[in-house]
Chain A
Amino acid sequence: MNEIRKVGVIGAGVMGAGIAAHAANAGAEVVLLDVVSDAARQAIDKMLKTEPAPFMRPTIARKISPGTTVEDLPMLADCDWVIEAIVERPDIKQELYRAIAPHLHSNAVLSSNTSTLPLTVLVEGMADDLKRRFMITHFFNPPRYMRLLEIICTPETDEKRVEQIVAFGDVAMGKNIVMAKDTPGFIANRIGTFWLHAAVTEAVRQGIGVEEADAVLGRPAGVPGTGIFGLLDLVGLDLMPHILASFETALPPDDPFHKLGTVPQLLEKMISDGYTGRKGKGGFYRLNTSDGRKVKEVIDLTTGRYSIARRPKPDALSAARKNGLRGLLSHSSRESRYARTVLLKTLSYAASLVPEIADDPDSVDRAMRLGYNWKSGPFQLIDQIGPAWMVTALTEDGESVPEYLRMVGDRSFYQDDREHLLQFRHSGYAPVPRAPGVLLLQDIKRRSQPVFQNMSACLWDIGDGVACLEFTSKMNSLNPFILAMIDKAVSGLPSRGFKAMVIHNESANFSVGANIALLLYGAKFRLWPLVNWMLKRGQDTFQRMRFAPFPVVGAPSGMALGGGCEMLLHCDAVVAHAESYIGLVEAGVGIVPGWGGCKELLGRWTSCKDRPGGPMPPVMKTFETIAMARVSKSAVEARDFLFLRPHDDIVMNLDRLLYVAKERALALAETYSPPVPYTLNLPGATGRAALELGIRDFVLKGIATSHDALIGRELATVLSGDKTDALDQISEDRVLALERSAILSLARTGKTRARVEQMLKTGKPLRN
């Protein structure tokens, strides 16, 4: 009764369609209705072409049944949850609720995705029974990727229904749920809009350039790469006047928001001239392509004229690097003064809103981190600056000091009692709650010392006899230290009472792959024995891990590329976050997978029951995946490439990943025996010839360069087993030796070295 099996979404605009797609990603059957005939169908078609993809796999689109609100309301009859995402007009929403009410089953939840309207207004005139099943569920755009879901209920809302939506939103949709109060803009948009508006009005007032503003308010404050003005371009400048107007009306007269001032004239002119941001002719930034090249330009906030972007580095930045946020805010430059005004106003505003908009600092911080991609939430930033220092600074600047900030005094909003992370509430410090089934490595790290540690990896005891291997190298690239840590784990964990290991970290990316700088070094100085040793070292370690006497479970999130992917391929099981982007991308740097990636993928395709018979399909599938450097766009898609196997798990909520992985490791440990090595029947020279036919076509079509072709031929030699015959079984060791030999041959070419060099310099692949 409490499960959400079917979801209805009304309104096939960007948000409605995106929510429908994500509900389908979450496994629900979905009904998507729009008032305009065929709009729902068109929205689904459009989403199939959208990047980043709203669907985790294109076939998921089939779970959505499109229709219209004019004819198809009966389709809602068996929906357990109906989400309204139509125009922000209370009268139209209320009319819709009246129309759909008779079609809802008696336990169905109805929610609105409104970002501006109060719940109390939406439920006006609603029957009491439905009112108890009504709430606001506020998703962020794009719904698949933004992890925040704000839920707003009233004391009358049926708790069971709230639990039902929280459970589905959390576990199935993978959202981090913040319970917000029924106040204008809820949490994230209330603070976020204030912040954006303050940044624009203060820049105009203080005569600060767009680029300078983004430089000081961006990276130092942990704001995403777009910066504030870039973010406004992305959101759409034309939305701002509407959002601001709605806050003007909704917020009480004494709200500090009103003091920020009105929309600058320049912004109004830009909008009327069609400069509405990235979707229009450009915004604060634009790409000028008039002379055939792409030149990034930036607007002058005084004159409204565009000029070439200069990427300035104000002195205030070095102050921030040296002395952190406080260094930035106490620097004497104009830019620093600007950053100080905007940040202090915003953080002070946030501090003044607890408990009005949320019960505790953690709710506010999570909302800003997950809804606006801030690296740290407002209270974490205040802690970085120092609450007491901030009180002094506000006083110096003649700004009022929120009571809540005064209350915390010399202390900080967060404290650590080793057992819990505590947060300051009006009633004193209390633990930041962790839901059952949530296990965070940061919590383990806060309260314990690593079992083993070196320069690039740590082993943590995550309880119940399970260890967690964490990478700590730059971008989690794999290097000899990490390999040494795995060796140490394999030999040292059992005697310390551990029975399983999980490989996991809380960085944005699981691992970007092996550190190719070492390969470049070896190749440049022709240290071939060193290159061979490095390859063998990785292969041996991964094999030791695979045949270790205890189970190893990989728990990736974000990118797991190259060596990172190979590591997962050697795990007994993988519990992947749904947003895992897995791939063997070695061809991009001019080599083939050399730490067992070829061998593992071949083994997997060979044992795959659904593949066509004969010796070639596993070879061709593996070739295609590696030669095209295919990266899955989700964990679901990773199954198609066999990076994940049918028995591997996918977890939607990142905060639950480690817990599920640990449970999986413990379950495996109960009856564990290491896997049996693959024996492979590879086709030999005929297989290589077949693959060469394909390579030749690709070169002819201009899809592959001559160096791509060379890499392809080396890969073909590895995957076909070189001089073997289809009747002969060859061992894993033989394929591993072929991997090494292919890389040693490719590393001797200047073009491979150029690829490696460019990747190290720019992070982007070179096609040569």
Chain B
Amino acid sequence: MKSVVIAGFARSPFTPAYKGALARVRPDEIAAQVVRQLVAGSGIDPSTIEDLIVGCAFPEGEQGFNIARLIGFLAELPLGVGGVTVNRFCGSSMQAIHMAAGAMQMDAGEAYICAGVESMSRIPMTGFNPMPHPGLYSRYPQAYMGMGETAENIAKKYNLDRQQQDAFAVESQRKATTARNAGHFTDEIITIETPAGAVTNDGCIRADTTIDSLGSLKPAFSETGTVTAGTASPLTDGASAVLVTTEEFANRHNLDKLARIKAIAVSGCAPEIMGIGPVKSSQKALQRAGITVADLDVIELNEAFASQSLASIKDLDLDLAKINVDGGAIALGHPLGATGARITGKAAQILKRTGGRYALATQCIGGGQGIATVLEALS
């Protein structure tokens, strides 16, 4: 197999939907600025890029047409660079990376931009025209189950009480705040220019979160439940992108290599407990990489909800100290299509920063799926 590497990572600030600084900016515009700056910052000759693969969970409205191609135009990529939009809900932009890695194994090009975008302000989470299959809905309603309800199901199944979830969320906020203060986001966040001014900072992090402040929140999805707005990732606007190339290409073009893609996997699970998706997919990816959980130095586990994160950690027997050291989606936000590229880029970045050997990036996916990527440090 060829060695495929992550050779660049950038993202927009992640800001809260509706009220945040990016709410009034079109998603294709946010993504184009991220792609343009990733290309400029990495030093890659844009004409060498094979394709722009963009993950997006609700590719309609301003995210419609083939948004990837349009982002290519907006970012003024050479016309010869392709553009394809991919949807695996929350796993969309990690899927973009997998597709690029797979294509390169087929000798289909040497460099890809794998991006993701979501404006949850401008395109509602079920899309403008939710039209479920009525027959499927009536005999298998969990196919369309809301994410909050699945988080409650997991909390029940794994006996995760309110205190455990609140404590996990406080920790996520603390880690994100510490990372921000330590400047760990400086390299990855690019400034988004908007008519209302430049947006340079994340907007979702709540540095003042405490157990007490979370304790006062009411359940968000079920009257009798334990999941609150504080233990769920917030609706977020943002875009992210990674540059994926063969190692040989990166060497030839003097690109800044972050990590090698060692193994990838997707898996399915029951949709009503979709949050457990990372378990099976991570197990598959680790096995394909020939390593075990004990070999991991860095773990990026997407925090769609505290409950599903805790359940996945338990089933995978992960070391809490290695997880989301720069904070997770509960603090940073979760612009659906953009998260996969963010956590893969982040895992690669931390691996390089900390000198570890193996990293895992994994996430759950609505409808009952998981996706995982194992990264290896470059010697």
Chain A residue at smallest Cβ distance from B138: A689
Question: By the criterion CB–CB under 8 Å, are A689 and B137 in contact?
Answer: yes
Chain B residue at smallest Cβ distance from A617: B128
What separation, in Å, do the CA atoms of A700 and B149 have in the docked complex? Answer: 8
A-B residue pairs in contact (CB < 8 Å), sample of 22: A612-B128, A614-B128, A614-B129, A615-B129, A615-B131, A617-B128, A684-B134, A686-B132, A686-B133, A686-B134, A687-B131, A689-B131, A689-B134, A690-B130, A692-B137, A693-B137, A697-B148, A700-B222, A700-B225, A701-B219, A701-B223, A702-B223
Find chain B residues with CB under 8 A from A692 CB. Answer: 137
Task: Give, as a whole number of angstroms, the nearest-CB distance from A623 to chain B.
Answer: 12
Please provide the chain A residues from 677 to 713 with a CB less than 8 Å away from any CB of chain B in the complex. Answer: 683-690, 692-693, 696-697, 700-702
Chain A residue at smallest Cβ distance from B61: A612
What separation, in Å, do the CA atoms of A693 and B130 have in the docked complex? Answer: 10
Apart from A616-B130, A700-B222, A700-B223, list 14 A-B contacts with CB within 8 A.
Answer: A614-B129, A615-B129, A615-B131, A616-B128, A685-B134, A686-B132, A688-B134, A690-B126, A690-B130, A692-B137, A693-B144, A700-B225, A701-B222, A702-B223
Report if A529 contacts B (CB, 8 A).
no
What separation, in Å, do the CA atoms of A683 and B132 have in the docked complex? Answer: 11
Find chain A residues with CB under 8 A from B129 CB. Answer: 612-617
Please provide the chain A residues from 658 to 691 with a CB less than 8 Å away from any CB of chain B in the complex. Answer: 683-690
Please provide the chain A residues from 167 to 200 with a CB less than 8 Å away from any CB of chain B in the complex. Answer: none
What separation, in Å, do the CA atoms of A615 and B146 have in the docked complex? Answer: 22
Report if B249 contacts A (CB, 8 A).
no
Find chain A residues with CB under 8 A from B144 CB. Answer: 689, 693
Task: Give, as a whole number of angstroms, the nearest-CB distance from B133 to chain A.
Answer: 7
Find chain A residues with CB under 8 A from B126 CB. Answer: 690, 693
Task: Give, as a whole number of angstroms, the nearest-CB distance from B19 to chain A.
Answer: 14
Annotate B115-157 by CB proximity to A: 1 below 8 A, 0 otherwise.
0000000000010111111100110010010101100000000
Task: Give, as a whole number of angstroms, the nearest-CB distance from B218 to chain A.
Answer: 9
Annotate A606-647 by CB proximity to B: 1 below 8 A, 0 otherwise.
000000111111000000000000000000000000000000
Chain B residue at smallest Cβ distance from A702: B223
Task: Give, as a whole number of angstroms, the nearest-CB distance from B332 to chain A.
Answer: 25
What separation, in Å, do the CA atoms of A724 and B219 have in the docked complex? Answer: 38
Annotate B206-237 by CB proximity to A: 1 below 8 A, 0 otherwise.
00000000000001111111000000000000
Task: Give, as a whole number of angstroms, the nearest-CB distance from A53 to chain B.
Answer: 20
Interface residues of B (CB under 8 A from A): 61, 126, 128-134, 137-138, 141, 144, 146, 148-149, 219-225
Interface size counted on chain A using CB atoms at 8 A? 21
Q: Given A615-B129, A616-B128, A693-B132, are A700 and B221 neighbors across the interface (CB < 8 Å)? A: yes
Which of B131, B138, B219, B225 has the most A CB atoms < 10 Å from its CB?
B131
Chain A residue at smallest Cβ distance from B130: A690
Q: Given A616-B128, A690-B132, are A701 and B221 neighbors across the interface (CB < 8 Å)? A: yes
Find chain B residues with CB under 8 A from A616 CB. Answer: 128-131
Task: Give, as a whole number of angstroms, the nearest-CB distance from A622 to chain B.
Answer: 14
Find chain A residues with CB under 8 A from B224 CB. Answer: 702
Interface residues of A (CB under 8 A from B): 612-617, 683-690, 692-693, 696-697, 700-702
Per DSSP, are chain B's interface residues mostly helix, strand or loop, or mixed?
loop
What separation, in Å, do the CA atoms of A688 and B134 have in the docked complex? Answer: 8
Per DSSP, are chain A's interface residues mostly helix, strand or loop, or mixed?
helix
What separation, in Å, do the CA atoms of A696 and B144 have in the docked complex? Answer: 11
Find chain B residues with CB under 8 A from A696 CB. Answer: 141, 146
Task: Give, as a whole number of angstroms, the nearest-CB distance from B378 to chain A.
Answer: 46
Find chain A residues with CB under 8 A from B222 CB. Answer: 700-702
Chain A residue at smallest Cβ distance from B131: A686
Find chain B residues with CB under 8 A from A688 CB. Answer: 134
What separation, in Å, do the CA atoms of A126 and B149 have in the docked complex? Answer: 69
Task: Give, as a whole number of angstroms, the nearest-CB distance from B24 to chain A.
Answer: 14
What separation, in Å, do the CA atoms of A688 and B130 have in the docked complex? Answer: 10
Task: Give, as a whole number of angstroms, the nearest-CB distance from A702 to chain B.
Answer: 3
Find chain B residues with CB under 8 A from A617 CB. Answer: 128-129
Question: By the criterion CB–CB under 8 Å, are A697 and B149 in contact?
Answer: yes
What separation, in Å, do the CA atoms of A613 and B123 have in the docked complex? Answer: 12
What separation, in Å, do the CA atoms of A690 and B144 have in the docked complex? Answer: 9
What separation, in Å, do the CA atoms of A688 and B131 have in the docked complex? Answer: 9
Task: Give, as a whole number of angstroms, the nearest-CB distance from B368 to chain A.
Answer: 16
Contact with B131, one of A612, A613, A683, A697 (Cβ below 8 angstroms): A683
Task: Give, as a whole number of angstroms, the nearest-CB distance from B196 to chain A.
Answer: 14
Task: Give, as a whole number of angstroms, the nearest-CB distance from A701 to chain B.
Answer: 6
Task: Give, as a whole number of angstroms, the nearest-CB distance from A616 to chain B.
Answer: 4
What separation, in Å, do the CA atoms of A616 and B220 have in the docked complex? Answer: 25
Find chain A residues with CB under 8 A from B134 CB. Answer: 684-686, 688-689
Q: Given A700-B222, A700-B223, are A693 and B133 neighbors across the interface (CB < 8 Å)? A: no
Question: By the criterion CB–CB under 8 Å, are A613 and B132 in contact?
Answer: no
Task: Give, as a whole number of angstroms, the nearest-CB distance from A647 to chain B.
Answer: 26
What separation, in Å, do the CA atoms of A616 and B126 have in the docked complex? Answer: 11
Find chain A residues with CB under 8 A from B141 CB. Answer: 696
What separation, in Å, do the CA atoms of A693 and B132 have in the docked complex? Answer: 9
What separation, in Å, do the CA atoms of A721 and B8 have in the docked complex? Answer: 51
What separation, in Å, do the CA atoms of A686 and B126 have in the docked complex? Answer: 14
Chain A residue at smallest Cβ distance from B141: A696
Find chain B residues with CB under 8 A from A613 CB. Answer: 128-129
Find chain B residues with CB under 8 A from A693 CB. Answer: 126, 130, 132, 137, 144, 146
What separation, in Å, do the CA atoms of A566 and B76 have in the docked complex? Answer: 53
Task: Give, as a whole number of angstroms, the nearest-CB distance from B350 to chain A.
Answer: 36
Contact with B133, one of A612, A687, A689, A702 (Cβ below 8 angstroms): A689
Task: Give, as a whole number of angstroms, the nearest-CB distance from B270 to chain A.
Answer: 18
Task: Give, as a whole number of angstroms, the nearest-CB distance from A726 to chain B.
Answer: 8
Task: Give, as a whole number of angstroms, the nearest-CB distance from A441 to chain B.
Answer: 45
Find chain B residues with CB under 8 A from A686 CB. Answer: 131-134
What separation, in Å, do the CA atoms of A9 and B148 have in the docked complex? Answer: 47
Chain B residue at smallest Cβ distance from A703: B223
Chain B residue at smallest Cβ distance from A614: B129
Task: Give, as a whole number of angstroms, the nearest-CB distance from B60 to chain A.
Answer: 8
What separation, in Å, do the CA atoms of A356 and B149 have in the docked complex? Answer: 71
Task: Give, as a whole number of angstroms, the nearest-CB distance from A305 to chain B.
Answer: 38
Find chain A residues with CB under 8 A from B130 CB. Answer: 616, 690, 693
Task: Give, as a whole number of angstroms, the nearest-CB distance from B124 to chain A.
Answer: 9
Q: Which 8 A-B pairs have the closest CB atoms?
A: A702-B223, A614-B129, A685-B134, A616-B129, A612-B128, A689-B137, A686-B131, A690-B130
Task: Give, as a whole number of angstroms, the nearest-CB distance from B141 to chain A.
Answer: 8
What separation, in Å, do the CA atoms of A693 and B138 have in the docked complex? Answer: 11
Contact with A689, one of B61, B132, B146, B219 (Cβ below 8 angstroms): B132
Find chain A residues with CB under 8 A from B225 CB. Answer: 700
What separation, in Å, do the CA atoms of A614 and B131 have in the docked complex? Answer: 10
What separation, in Å, do the CA atoms of A615 and B128 have in the docked complex? Answer: 9
Question: By the criterion CB–CB under 8 Å, are B221 and A697 in contact?
Answer: yes
Task: Give, as a whole number of angstroms, the nearest-CB distance from B230 to chain A.
Answer: 16
Chain A residue at smallest Cβ distance from B225: A700
Find chain B residues with CB under 8 A from A615 CB. Answer: 129, 131
What separation, in Å, do the CA atoms of A237 and B201 have in the docked complex? Answer: 51
Chain A residue at smallest Cβ distance from B146: A697
What separation, in Å, do the CA atoms of A690 and B138 have in the docked complex? Answer: 11
Task: Give, as a whole number of angstroms, the nearest-CB distance from B63 to chain A.
Answer: 12
Find chain A residues with CB under 8 A from B61 CB. Answer: 612
What separation, in Å, do the CA atoms of A689 and B133 have in the docked complex? Answer: 8
What separation, in Å, do the CA atoms of A613 and B62 have in the docked complex? Answer: 12
Chain A residue at smallest Cβ distance from B219: A701
What separation, in Å, do the CA atoms of A288 and B62 have in the docked complex? Answer: 55
What separation, in Å, do the CA atoms of A692 and B224 have in the docked complex? Answer: 21
Chain B residue at smallest Cβ distance from A619: B129
What separation, in Å, do the CA atoms of A696 and B219 have in the docked complex? Answer: 16
What separation, in Å, do the CA atoms of A674 and B309 have in the docked complex? Answer: 61
Task: Give, as a whole number of angstroms, the nearest-CB distance from B151 to chain A.
Answer: 12
Task: Give, as a whole number of angstroms, the nearest-CB distance from A103 to chain B.
Answer: 30
What separation, in Å, do the CA atoms of A615 and B131 have in the docked complex? Answer: 9
